[in-house]
Structure 1
Amino acid sequence: MKNNIQSENGELDLLKQKIADLEERMTRMEEAAASPGIHRTGRFLYQESTGEQVIQEKEATTGDSMESRIGEYGMAWMGNVVLLFGILFLSQYLQKNNQEIISLVFGFVSVALVYLLGHLTRNSLPYMSRLFSYNGHLLLYIQAMRICLFPGSQIIENSFLGHAVVLVVLISLIYLAYRNSSQVLAILVWLMVVVTAIADGSTHFMLPLMLGISGSAIFFTIRKAWWTGLMVSIFFSYFIYLMWMLGNPFMSKSVEIIAVHQMGHVYLLASGLAYSLLALLPASDRVSQNQLNPSIVLNGLGFSFLVTLTVLAFFTESYFKLFGLIAAFSIGYSVWLQLRGTWKPVAAMYALYSFVALSITIAGIYHFPLGFLLLSIQSLLVVIVALWFRSRFMVVMNSILFVGLLIAYFITGETLHGINFSFALVALGTARILNWRKQRLEIRTELIRNLFLFTGAIMVLFSLHEAVSPNFVTLSWTLSAMVFFILSVLIRNMKYRWLAIITMVVTVFYLFIVDLSNISLGYRIVALMFIAAISLGISIFYSRRLKSKKEESEE
């Protein structure tokens, strides 16, 4: 009995030893496979010393893989494309030889056979089956267009019935894309819709199809998160509108803007509004900032371009009404997104867009140069709204627009005193607000504030130069330097002291270059003495300031 127990213990120890040896061997093999000099090819490990054999086997594997991909996928594409054109050419050949009925029957039988091929190969050849299905969809659509809309082969003479048949085919295919979760098929169907719109050419058929693309794309984005398809749909939708505006050049063979708008701009507004509503979507795994922002920007660019063309074509006298409507919607929508929405950057985009539209509206109602007064004040309003939205983007864009507005004001050649001072006060006020609330905007640079300060100081000097008598320009500029200096003391800001010093330097140059040769002797004496007094006073201030700092440091 004891011998049996000892035998079993010995076998158990031996088994444990073998397992330990096996584990050690596996560890060594794994370490060897991970080492730089070892490579795995197929099922075997090869040392770099036998690299030629490894490279040859890798090249063979790579070549075989590329050959397989070309053979499986490339030939499947080529075969389906050739099959499509072969069926179309044969159908057209039968039609040209007065075999319309045979051509029609052959076309629909071909559709059925291609669909059948796709069904039969769905398990054994799934990729080819999918291509057969796309081929069948294209053939079905082309056959429907032939009998309903294409002249020469049109069988259904009733326009309403013909359009209905084509729409049924398109709706069926777009439903199939949704049911099969096929974004590619959805894009293909939208392309069919574009072709249908161009083939028909009538206003109230083309533009509703545009809305159909927009609506279905938004629905699919919400339900399926097809953001790529959404971007494509924006292009397709606005392309249809552009073709309508240009008189459908594919069919008319000429590019000419249509004479009457036929309320087509209503469809454009509806499409732009529909895409804008995407900003109401809550954040989720299907909706992110990186997906939403490009869609909103692309929609805005396309919409703005087409609205501009529409205004130039149809509303050159009353464009402010259209832009006023856009401005009202944009500002209201931006406020709603800021208060209730998830995407704050998008809210800032619509707020800025509303102010651009409002600027055009103001220009259309009040005209220039009076419109510049309201536009300069609006610039300050944009900064205030940007503080509420916490948007640096709005501040940067407003700075660019303000500089552009100022340049446009001077280019017009007609300046008014009130507008001059308005630009100066708005620039200085904006700089002060930006400094006051820079932490709220998280502005890490002084560039924008310095731009407004410098612009405001220049406009102060220009406004005084234009407003006061030539005899008092130097005195007025000296007073403005005093004001800057007093402000620097009151608000304890060094930048205003620099403005005071620069203003004094400019004033002295102006005095010696311009005033000494133009004003009377009495005014020259007063100007010289006044500037001397102010300059010496500033110098005394700095001397005492430096002395007090030195005494504090010594203590």
Structure 2
Amino acid sequence: MNNSVNDSALNGILKSLKNIEDRLSHVETKLQIQQEVIEDEAQPVQNVIKPIADDDLEIRLGEYWIPKVAIVAFIIGMIFFLTFPLKGLPMGFPIVFGYLMTAALLIASKLLKKSFAHFTGYAIGGSIVIFYLTTLRLHFFGREQLITSPGIEILLLLLVTTGSLIIAVRRNSVYLAALGLLLGYVTAMINSNPYLSFITLVILSAVVVYLTLKYSWQGLVIYGIVLTYFVHLLWFLNNPFLGNVMQFATSPQTNVLFILAYLFVFSLGCLLRVDKEEEKFNVILSSFLNAAGGYGLFLMITLSTATAYLGIFHFAAFILSIVISITFWIRVSSRYSTFIYAMLAYTALSVAIIFTFSAPAFFIWLCWQSLIVVSTALWFRSKFIILANFIIFIAVMIAYLVTEGTVGVESLSFGIVALISARVLNWQRERLELETDKMRTAYLLTSLLIIPYSFYHIFPSELVGISWVGLALVYYLLSSILKNNKYRLMALGTLLMTVVYLLVFGITSSETMYKIISFLLVAGVLMVISLIYSRRKSKPV
């Protein structure tokens, strides 16, 4: 009864409140009062949770470095397990265990990919190493060979290497690529067939260049250059790492041609790069290591084996290197790489000349080589090559004069080459970014001294003065044709040397007719020259 009364009272109150609300709304409508919604300006307090600092040393050691050390320690343990003969165990047990560990690491890397991402790469790398070593044990390290054919074993190892490179490409990992390449180089090193080993090195070089160009892994080229030439060097030293006695491998002699193949392939890694505008340090370093390492190994092997084809091999190196340098200049206008390969080419040509010709012939050929260097250096706009070539030219000339007991007609080559070099420098002086006048003067001074010296040894003493007068006339003729006063000065210098020579040696000569002809000839030439200068002075300007 009481409950019903209370409910009725409550309903009455609610009804009254409803009526009051309706009335107020009606009044607001009549008075045109807009309802305002009062919002609570108080903003809710957001709970900001400060994350734990990731760079804490203890956390970094525990989360990142300890797993890495664990993987490395595990791999080292597996290396010992798979490379040492284990007594008391079944022959196939290490192999089965190795493959099981490979599968376990791959599964672990898959399962922990999200929660333990930094562990995945190391686990995959470790599984590749263990898989390779396990496959290697099929023929090596064990008490007995499960695979007796070395060719089949090498093929399996190359398949493992290929698979590891495919994984590296799919994961876009330069580190896994470097690991896969290392396994390939190890395979080439343990291959007993030299030709297959060299072919493997060429293929690996091509893979290095492809990965570098495809994924811009420029450091990979340097890595490949070092490993390629190092493995070839180990072959030449009879692979001492495999327990062999260190000695030079003399066969096959054509192994040096594969070095030229490496040189060419690695040059493509810099030549075909995407960024052709700027030659960065790693590009320059790659070119230097390729040229110095490749030709250094090439030179060491050819000199050590004393092959009959030494000159031909080095001439082939010259052709290849000069083509590479020209291509660098034409395609990318490279200064440093062009210079590096050009210097390699000149060196190879010099070695080819020295070992093809005997003295004094090779001095003369080296002298004429100077013209090739000057011509290409002008094209490359390399002032350093021009200067270095002049120094080498002078050194070759001095070596010829010192080592040869008699100076023959061939010595005139030095003077002729000096004259031609000076003329070429004058003809193309605008191509160099330096003043070439001093360099041209140096070549002309060389010619001024060496040609009269050669005449002195070639002609009889009675004709030396006359030959020098004839040389002076040639210089005057060149001055008139080329409109260059330097040749006129050379003519005057030659005439002065002639006068001194006649005064010192001509008077003491026993040949009376020689004295008369020489002095009259010199006097006549000097009078004609004096007359020419007088007429030039009297001409109106």
Q: Same fold per TM (> 0.5)?
A: yes
Find 1:106's aligned residue among 83, 87, 97: 97
SS at match of 2:332: coil
Q: Tell me the residue number matched to 2:9.
A: none
Aligned length: 487
Q: Can you give the 5+ residue segments of structure 2 that lack an aligned partner in the other structure? A: 1-49
Residue matched to 1:413: 404
What pairs up with 1:457-472 in 2 under 5 angstroms? 457-472=448-463
CA displacement at 1:213 relative to structure 2: 1.7
Q: What is the distance in 2 between the residues matched to 1:238 and 1:531?
A: 65
Aligned to 1:289: 279
Taking structure 1 as reference, are residues 124 and 486 closer, same or farther at Cα in structure 2, changes over 3 Å only? same
Mapped to 1, the partners of 2:357 and 2:533 lie a distance apart of: 49
- Between structure 1 and structure 2, the one with the greater Rg is 2
Query: For residues 232-311 of structure 1, what are the structure 2 equivalents within 5 Å?
Result: 232-261=223-252, 263-278=254-269, 281=272, 284-285=274-275, 288-290=278-280, 291-311=282-302
Residue pairs, 1:10-409, within 5 angstroms: 74-89=65-80, 95-152=86-143, 154-261=145-252, 263-278=254-269, 281=272, 284-285=274-275, 288-290=278-280, 291-314=282-305, 316-330=307-321, 341-343=331-333, 345=335, 353-354=344-345, 356-392=347-383, 394-409=385-400
- State the TM-score, normalizing by the size of structure 1: 0.73
In structure 2, how many angstroms separate the alpha carbons of the residues matched to 1:474 and 1:233? 64
User: For the structure 1 residues 192 and 335, does the alpha-carbon distance in structure 2 shift closer, same or farther, using more than 3 Å as the test?
Assistant: closer
Identity of counterpart residues, as a percentage?
29
Cα separation, partners in 2 of 1:74 and 1:403, compared to 1, 3 Å? farther
Contact 1:409–1:415 (CA under 8 A) maintained in structure 2: no
1:196-238 CA-to-partner distances (Å, cap 9, x unmatched) read 3333333133222212321110111221122211111111111
Paired letter, 2:359: F
Deviation at 1:254, TM superposition (A): 2.1
Q: Give the C-alpha shift of residue 70 in structure 1.
A: 5.6
**What does the per-residue CA deviation read over 1:308-355, in whole Å, with 9 as the maximum and x for residues that have no partner?**
23433445323233334444445556666666x334545676566555
C-alpha distance in 1 between matches for 2:130 and 2:227: 21
- The answer as to whether partners of 1:247 and 1:258 remain within 8 angstroms in 2 is yes
**TM-score, scaled to structure 2:** 0.74
Counterpart CA distance in 1 for 2:390 and 2:87 is: 66
Match of 1:124, as an amino acid?
A: S
Cα distance in 1 for partners of 2:117, 2:459 equals 85
Residue pair 2:291, 2:341 contacting (<8 A) in 1 also: no
CA contact (8 A) 2:479 2:487 kept: yes
Tell me if structure 2 keeps the 8 A contact 1:206–1:240: no
- Contact 2:158 / 2:187 at 8 angstroms: preserved in 1? no
Code of the residue aligned with 1:515 in structure 2: it is F
Q: 1:288 to 1:213 in 2, by over 3 A?
A: farther
CA drift of 1:542 comes to 9.1
- SS in structure 1 opposite 2:451? helix
Distance 2:270 2:78 in 1: 45
Equivalent in the alignment of 1:515: 505
Consecutive unaligned residues of structure 1, counting only runs of 5 or more, are 1-42, 44-60
* Cα RMSD (Å): 4.2
Distance 1:429 1:419 in 2: 16
Q: Provide the C-alpha distance between the structure 2 equivalents of 1:454 and 1:165, rounded to a whole number of angstroms.
A: 68
Between the aligned partners of 2:529 and 2:117, the Cα distance in structure 1 is 87
In proportion to residue count, which structure has more helix?
Answer: 1
